Structure 1
């Protein structure tokens, strides 16, 4: 019976009598439909319907069934044909969608010729369109990525990018980054550049780096985002690149020097280069340029504020809270986050801290814990690249509440105490020889003094000699090995924080023998006088004080209310303090300094442990 007859008859309730349970269409002109009033609606989904449908379409493709276009793919004289369905390619590629829907010639063509793509690569893209699966390896991933970008198949491009990111290393990252930039794969390019910035020193040891053009190298070393321990790493990388082909590359030395942050180099490093660098003996213009900067450093003239590479963090080591602490944390002012790092080798409070060649040095202090209570002569350093501590030669005498600063790569440890003895002695540490030597002692014994270096000289501010708290300030000249007094502060301060910023010294907080202080005063080095500045939000002594990107940060400390966890930031332009964060643990007597951001993978690993 033809199905064109009326299939349903609203007036009929009769079923075909041939079978009691099943309707039969033979010899029937109508089927009765029972009423379903009041039973709602059915919403039913077959979860694997789409995948099963695409499986059938892929099967039809492989058997050339219902295919409406033939892709003739040619590459290097080789040609291969692929029968496909336009709608499938158009559904996952804006390129093919435009080709088949926008009245181009190919829109109605039964055959389309595609050149300059390997047929095997095209086969992978076609199979992905039907199956959502893509398989790539080291030999083909770049070819597949190039094709995916060309035909705008974002999911394939992301899969290839993820594969390449997973296999980035120092030997291939430059090539992969350049390739990503050329084909417009921005995310892969960004990730590659981040890898170069983070692993710059490793990358410079590879042949890809040495094969860079001078323009590519100049672009690379001009990046402030390079994460290096010391600017000397950038300078040495430029030397290494030139020495690879000295006859042809020496001409670019001056241009490269303009990209190096020369005022961030230690004067001692520049002196060695001027004496021993063979390239400078040939490139007189570069020699004159570096000599001028070196002379400015030696004459202690006001210098431009050194530029910092990469993201710099504030590191906080040790401290005191009922007991001496061994913790090491870093604060990122850009994100407001604290990072937990490897603990010190032993608990210490009252220690000094400074940065030499990007390494965080912890000097002296006291181990006041349940097991012992001893003053320390220890010297150790933390490497943010490896997230590890290492010991170095101890000082000649233990020094608790010691003042520490760095001048031209040497560490100076001034004053401090051992038991009841308050030191006026000062020691100098040479990292190259791992050795401490005494220099001229201070005129007055001091513990809890603020010690800071500025323009090649060492300043010791305030402090306590066991009987008297001081407002006096003494200045040490390393070249003359002599001390001389300069203008005294307006306020007596021990346990104050002292930093140098833009040719000023800032003395912040402290203890005057009666109260913790919130007051701040600033020393004008050129004119030899102190002036009052805006006070902090909190009174504090034995706190951490450091400079980060032109602003002063005061961390923790102690006052009549107990141990502080608050962190304040001072803006010299506005002469104003603002509270910015709280420390993971409130404490006093910690070592604080600023250096490069640690490797993220190492930080994550430490937090897991």
Structure 2
């Protein structure tokens, strides 16, 4: 006769965050195959997922939503880069892949995306309170969009481009957290998806992407003071699912379409350069930057040394390797 413990159903959502630690003490190889498939294999872990979002708050990296090959996800995990520990946090209110993510005033925001089960393009948006571990709906965007991009500029969230299921979008809307309102600004010069937005030196850059007429779209930047978009030099390199980040006052672009290419833009010289490739080709990746990580200098070479040792200039579509560079 079995005994049912009252602990079994106590606070299951919070207990899920300890599963990874507990499984280290389980001899999975001795489990019955049927039990493993029904009880263990279906647990939604931090792994495999694509077309997800990432956000950094302090030393915490939040991995949000995405697609696991079967369904869109609402689950979220938090990895602390200082302690190297991972925990599951509260799921979003909606399942989303191809979502846009931004961090503003210590909160994580997610916008839009695609809900696979009902084949629905989303315009809803949510805010995550890291202190209370809760997601709250905020005002929805003015239109549905997925596979667009978001960035924070002048204490507001800009969401640009993407698709609405039928069209490649060039529209751009801005969220003001003080009024909880979305407002359209001047649209981009080209509709695009699979691109990346990044705020840099007071401008908003829209980099890469594709639409129905081109897979080699120009890069453009937005001036919020003038409410205008202008083209800047193209990369002479293309890949879908681009991710852009700013490190050491330089924009880095990381490929995420079965590719491993990394390039950077120097706005002082107004040109693009290719740097050392990633070690692994990846698809549908998401990237982030952590500042002032403890003991980071003890774990890797300085970024400047790595870039200078591998820097290659892209000129006229041909890659020219500098002396001392690597292939």
Q: Above 0.5 in TM-score?
A: yes
Is 1:312 paired with 2:59?
A: yes
Q: CA deviation digits over 1:523-545, x for unaligned, max 9? A: 00221111111111111232111
Q: Is the 8 A contact 2:149 2:196 kept in 1?
A: yes
The 3 A distance-change label for structure 1 pair 450 and 550 is: farther
Q: Is the 8 A contact 2:253 2:262 kept in 1?
A: yes
Secondary structure class of the residue paired with 2:235: coil
Matches within 5 A, 1:35-46: none
- Aligned to 1:488, which of 230, 234, 242? 234
Secondary structure class of the residue paired with 1:433: coil
| Higher-strand-fraction structure | 2
Q: For residue 531 of structure 1, what is the aligned residue in structure 2?
A: 273
- Aligned to 1:382, which of 112, 128, 131? 128
Q: Is the 8 A contact 1:326 1:344 kept in 2?
A: yes
Matches within 5 A, 1:51-450: 311-321=58-68, 322-369=70-117, 372-450=118-196
**How far, CA to CA, are the matches of 2:219 and 2:141 in structure 1?**
24
Q: CA deviation digits over 1:468-503, x for unaligned, max 9? A: 212521000011000001111131122111111222
Secondary structure class of the residue paired with 2:78: strand
**How far, CA to CA, are the matches of 2:108 and 2:302 in structure 1?**
25
The 3 A distance-change label for structure 1 pair 528 and 398 is: same
TM-score, normalised to structure 1, is 0.39
Secondary structure class of the residue paired with 2:87: strand
Q: More displaced, 380-389 or 468-477?
A: 468-477
Deviation at 1:570, TM superposition (A): 9.5
**How far, CA to CA, are the matches of 2:74 and 2:83 in structure 1?**
25
- Find runs of 4+ consecutive structure 1 residues off by over 4 angstroms: none
CA RMSD of aligned residues (A): 1.8
**How far, CA to CA, are the matches of 1:453 and 1:572 in structure 2?**
21
The 3 A distance-change label for structure 1 pair 319 and 397 is: same
Q: Is the 8 A contact 1:501 1:550 kept in 2?
A: no
| Higher-helix-fraction structure | 1
Secondary structure class of the residue paired with 1:397: coil
Q: For residue 270 of structure 1, what is the aligned residue in structure 2?
A: none
The 3 A distance-change label for structure 1 pair 550 and 523 is: farther
Q: Is the 8 A contact 1:452 1:458 kept in 2?
A: yes
Secondary structure class of the residue paired with 2:259: coil
Q: Is the 8 A contact 2:77 2:86 kept in 1?
A: yes
Q: Is the 8 A contact 1:497 1:542 kept in 2?
A: no
Q: CA deviation digits over 1:339-380, x for unaligned, max 9? A: 1100000110001111110000001111112xx111110111
Q: For residue 140 of structure 1, what is the aligned residue in structure 2?
A: none
Q: For residue 590 of structure 1, what is the aligned residue in structure 2?
A: none
Is 1:547 paired with 2:284?
A: no
Q: Is the 8 A contact 2:58 2:290 kept in 1?
A: no
Deviation at 1:312, TM superposition (A): 2.0
Secondary structure class of the residue paired with 1:438: strand
Q: For residue 303 of structure 2, what is the aligned residue in structure 1?
A: 572
Structure 1 residues without counterparts, runs of 5 or longer: 1-309, 552-568, 577-609
Structure 2 residues without counterparts, runs of 5 or longer: 1-56, 294-299, 308-327
Is 1:521 paired with 2:243?
A: no
TM-score, normalised to structure 2, is 0.71
Q: CA deviation digits over 1:389-446, x for unaligned, max 9? A: 0011101110110100001211101001011211011111111001111100000000
**How far, CA to CA, are the matches of 2:218 and 2:140 in structure 1?**
29
**How far, CA to CA, are the matches of 2:155 and 2:236 in structure 1?**
32
Q: Larger Rg: 1 or 2?
A: 1
Q: For residue 463 of structure 1, what is the aligned residue in structure 2?
A: 209
**How far, CA to CA, are the matches of 1:534 and 1:550 in structure 2?**
23
